[in-house]
Structure 1
Amino acid sequence: MNKENFRILIVDDEKSFLLLMRKILDDEGYTVKGLTDPEEALKVLDAFEPSLVISDLKMPKMDGIKFMDEVKRSRQIDFIMITAFATVETAIEAMKKGAEDYITKPLKDPDQLRIAVAKVFDRQTLVDENVLLKSALYEDIPAFEIVFAGMENVLKELKDVAPTDATVMLYGETGTGKTLVAKILHRLSGRKGPFVDINCAAIPENLLESELFGYEKGAFTGALSQKKGKFELANDGSILLDEVSEMSLTLQAKLLKVLQERTFERIGSLHTLKTSARVAAATNRDLREMVKEGKFREDLFYRLNVFPISIPPLRERREHLEKIIGYLIGVIARRFGREPKIIPVAVFQYMREYQWPGNIRELENVLERAIIVSKGSELQIPDIGDISESGRLKKSGGDLKGIEKEAIRNALSQTGGNKTMAAKMLGISVRSLHYKIKEYEIK
């Protein structure tokens, strides 16, 4: 969820305070609506569909707790209460009734509001991601069998290690689906917390530590409010350290401490926090070789490499390619709101000739493009695109025309020269087949 999709309804009869809160949250990028009348606010719930309601406790027409009760009768919405009476009693009453948090007015520090809202936003975002995770393709057992076709040993290893707390190290080339496998590991573990991943190669070294462990307000220039790190957000869940091989030696030492002691500190804090997150790491590099070269800590390697799993490249699973392609075509078509395409034998043969150096990720990208450009009910070889060494696909046995010519020859051979049957097998018209036979001078 992005901030623009996170809708906040503010209800406060004090208009100046309402405008102040709206300005603060507008500047943060949230979608905000403000009303002074709680009865009017009840009327806009269906149209506005807020993700969070911020309500004053003391209002003339209806107090905040009664307003919250009215709202929660028909829907589950998070509440933050505003009180000018910062007493333990009012705060406890609001929290008992279902409020997530409360803030006091006058608002002496805008960060009080920012932090309270950010906590709700972060939690809802992680919950949403977990719901999507549970509804994704790997929840369906038949989909398991298709996605793991040719690597059933990987699925077995995941099922064996999932119920434990063992750290899992995922090895595999770029695009083999290491992140997906980590999500499946999390799903099979039954952990109640969220799945959180971080790409260690995509974040500058000076920012990676704060992303992992969080920071306190004022810890450094630009730290305007407290921020939770990935380890804190993943508590009771799982965290994937993708491309862990790209982490600096300094940060490797800090990660080792987390793995050994299960504790960490936010930057700028003296308070030690505990983490129960299940750790998985992934890399496309040879960590043992990096240890020999002094580029990766040996002690960290052994901490991470408790349960190594190797994910094979797609070229080693090509005997299952038709099953995988057929499944992905259905997934992509549904994503685009289109009917799944029929895939002729010639197209499968054409794609089997390719080594797929980008693995599943590349295959999915190629199929997405093919579905977009395809005009008929069947995918054709031109929809897939040319095969070139340096491009998305690889030349194997010649260029596009060479492979198409070979596919036609094979189809004619398999049908004993019956052009009608061969055309059906190739997914083209008899007229087109006659034209191509003449073009390629096939005898």
Structure 2
Amino acid sequence: MSSILVIDGDHSALEKIRHFLAKEGYETYTASTGTDGLNLCVQKSPDLVIMDLALSDVDGLTILEELLEENERIKVIAMMSCPEMGSIVRVMKIGAFDYIHKSEDMSELSASVRKAMSTLDLDRRTDRFSRESTLEFRKGDIIGTGKDMREIFKMVGVISQSRTTVLIEGESGTGKELVAKVIHSHTSPNEPFIAVNCSAIVETLLESELFGHEKGSFTSAFNRQLGKFELARYGTLFLDEISEMSVNLQAKLLRVLQEMEFERVGGKDKVHVHARVIAATNKNLRTLVREGKFRPDLFYRLNIVSIKMPPLRERPEDLPRLVQYLLAKVNRDIGRRILGVSDDVMEAFQGHDWPGNVRELENLLVRAGVMAKGRILEKSDFPELFEKQDLSGSEQTFRLEEGGTSCELLTLDDVEEQHIRKILQRERGKNKGELCDILGISRPTLERKLEKYGISFERDGFDRSLEEERLAVEEKAGP
């Protein structure tokens, strides 16, 4: 039988709650002061504590902190007759399971108790998760046990024996830069690893960024500046989103890779290249070559050795271990002790398409970890994944919008358009840079997709709530 401790200085309210919980089948202890409640908690080790924050002998927040310090597994439901925003925020920040309005009606308390007991029941069944959660997060690790990932690990080992140019292909969020760093760490760990996002810098600045410039070579060139090729020394220069590089700059890069030397912008002296170049792209360069958007000679120069990163949807066998690894990172970053995800969540994960790949999975786990009440993440902790889920018998069909057509009947363009529109609506008010991080794409890519699908960022992505509220107030006030 589950046990509950009730702490409330109001004798009438205390007896009413005790009587209600007894009828529900719970073993109940009561205390009328915070001190007595804390002592009783130490003696009885209840599963749940329900406490009024307005105590006569001591500050309720202090008791809440001491209860959670005494037993980190205990769940605490705090209540107050006149809840305020500030007190609610402080209580939840300390670690309470829930905060409810104290009233004669027991419905809100009943719902909160049921939810707490459900979470406790799930927490009790965590032996398996406790054994699996020994996986520690080590920055730079690549998690994968499937055949595709094992082949990539082998290739990394072979590539690390030389300093040849490498091309890494794969969708956004598959870990291309991570693989580049692993190659670097096994080749020249004591030298710099310099990463350049070719899509984030305009053409004129990118040339100077890569090759440096001499003093006076252009208006704002007040001093000589070394480029990334020089700064990388004998290390690695990682060129991300290489497909976004202009054709003119592609020609200069090709010459550098062929001659292994270059001139700074505005300079005449030859600078020798010693850095290894690793390029990455989320596009099919062969298609871009056929379309005349990428130089074929540069493609062949970059494609001496290529690695194809598989999307997450093609490696479901890696998900259990990958989830545990990412949760170890989440726990470290946000100070939680999440042990794992429930079986039905893992089943849904393994059936999800993961358009944002590992980056999307990590973002989901971070959000769920921040808001979770228990130590095992449940369906309710992933509203982004489950709120549009249509359950039909044992089959799960994910729908992109209410009443929408299932993913199996949509074209890829339809899926992408609906996903972008959904993100714009859900993250209304965020700027384009923030949206790019959420979608896992570059800003130029976002601009192209908005134009392709006729989506207006100003119309669909701008939060008008404050403006509409202002106009409503002005209209009500009159001239």
TM-score range, shorter chain: 0.5 to 0.7
Shift of 1:398: 4.8
Q: Report what 1:384 is aligned to.
A: 382
The residue type paired with residue 202 of structure 2 is P
CA contact (8 A) 2:176 2:280 kept: yes
Q: Report what 1:319 is aligned to.
A: 317
The residue type paired with residue 137 of structure 1 is R
Q: Report what 1:357 is aligned to.
A: 355
Separation (CA, whole Å) in 2 of partners of 1:308 and 1:289: 16
Q: Report what 1:206 is aligned to.
A: 204
Aligned-pair identity (%): 46
CA contact (8 A) 1:200 1:247 kept: yes
Shift of 1:350: 2.4
CA contact (8 A) 2:229 2:273 kept: yes
Is structure 2 residue 234 aligned with structure 1 residue 236?
yes
CA contact (8 A) 1:243 1:282 kept: yes
What's the RMSD between the two structures over aligned residues? Answer: 2.6
Q: Report what 1:255 is aligned to.
A: 253
Q: Report what 2:373 is aligned to.
A: 375
Q: Report what 2:219 is aligned to.
A: 221
Deviations 1:306-345 (A, max 9, x none): 0011000000001221111111101121122222333221
Which runs of structure 2 are paired with 1:152-167 in the superposition (5 Å)?
152-167=150-165
Would the alpha carbon gap of residues 361 and 317 (structure 1) be closer, same or farther in structure 2, given more than 3 Å must change? same
Shift of 1:388: 7.4
Q: Which moved more, 1:220-229 or 1:147-156?
A: 147-156
Is structure 2 residue 341 aligned with structure 1 residue 343?
yes
Separation (CA, whole Å) in 1 of partners of 2:336 and 2:387: 31
Separation (CA, whole Å) in 2 of partners of 1:294 and 1:173: 21
Separation (CA, whole Å) in 2 of partners of 1:335 and 1:166: 36
CA contact (8 A) 2:146 2:315 kept: no
Displacement over 6 Å in runs of 4+ = 388-391
Q: Report what 1:307 is aligned to.
A: 305
Would the alpha carbon gap of residues 399 and 341 (structure 1) be closer, same or farther in structure 2, given more than 3 Å must change? farther
Deviations 1:363-388 (A, max 9, x none): 11111111111122221112122337
Deviations 1:181-217 (A, max 9, x none): 1111101113431101101011111211011111122
Would the alpha carbon gap of residues 218 and 330 (structure 1) be closer, same or farther in structure 2, given more than 3 Å must change? same
The residue type paired with residue 224 of structure 1 is F
Shift of 1:353: 2.3
Shift of 1:352: 1.9
Is structure 2 residue 196 aligned with structure 1 residue 195?
no
Separation (CA, whole Å) in 2 of partners of 1:255 and 1:325: 39
Which runs of structure 2 are paired with 1:87-236 in the superposition (5 Å)?
137=138, 143-144=141-142, 146=144, 151-236=149-234
The residue type paired with residue 370 of structure 1 is A
Separation (CA, whole Å) in 2 of partners of 1:245 and 1:345: 40
Q: Report what 1:397 is aligned to.
A: 397
Shift of 1:291: 1.2
Shift of 1:285: 1.1
Q: Report what 1:329 is aligned to.
A: 327
Secondary structure of the corresponding residue to residue 376 of structure 2: coil
Separation (CA, whole Å) in 2 of partners of 1:272 and 1:164: 25
Would the alpha carbon gap of residues 333 and 277 (structure 1) be closer, same or farther in structure 2, given more than 3 Å must change? same
The residue type paired with residue 359 of structure 2 is R
> TM-score by structure 2 length?
0.51
Shift of 1:227: 1.4
Q: Report what 2:284 is aligned to.
A: 286
Deviations 1:389-419 (A, max 9, x none): 999xxx952569x9xxxxxxxxxxxxxxxxx
Separation (CA, whole Å) in 2 of partners of 1:398 and 1:176: 22
The residue type paired with residue 328 of structure 2 is G
Q: Which moved more, 1:143-152 or 1:255-264?
A: 143-152
Which runs of structure 2 are paired with 1:256-271 in the superposition (5 Å)?
256-271=254-269
The residue type paired with residue 210 of structure 2 is L
User: Alignment length, in residue pairs?
Assistant: 261
Q: Which stretches in structure 1 are left out of the alignment for 5+ residues?
A: 1-134, 403-443
The residue type paired with residue 352 of structure 2 is Y
Shift of 1:137: 2.9
Separation (CA, whole Å) in 2 of partners of 1:206 and 1:213: 11
Q: Report what 1:298 is aligned to.
A: 296
Separation (CA, whole Å) in 1 of partners of 2:318 and 2:364: 17
The residue type paired with residue 200 of structure 2 is A
Would the alpha carbon gap of residues 145 and 177 (structure 1) be closer, same or farther in structure 2, given more than 3 Å must change? closer
CA contact (8 A) 1:214 1:227 kept: yes
Secondary structure of the corresponding residue to residue 250 of structure 2: helix
Would the alpha carbon gap of residues 248 and 353 (structure 1) be closer, same or farther in structure 2, given more than 3 Å must change? same
Separation (CA, whole Å) in 1 of partners of 2:271 and 2:217: 17
Separation (CA, whole Å) in 1 of partners of 2:137 and 2:350: 27
Secondary structure of the corresponding residue to residue 202 of structure 1: coil
The residue type paired with residue 222 of structure 1 is S
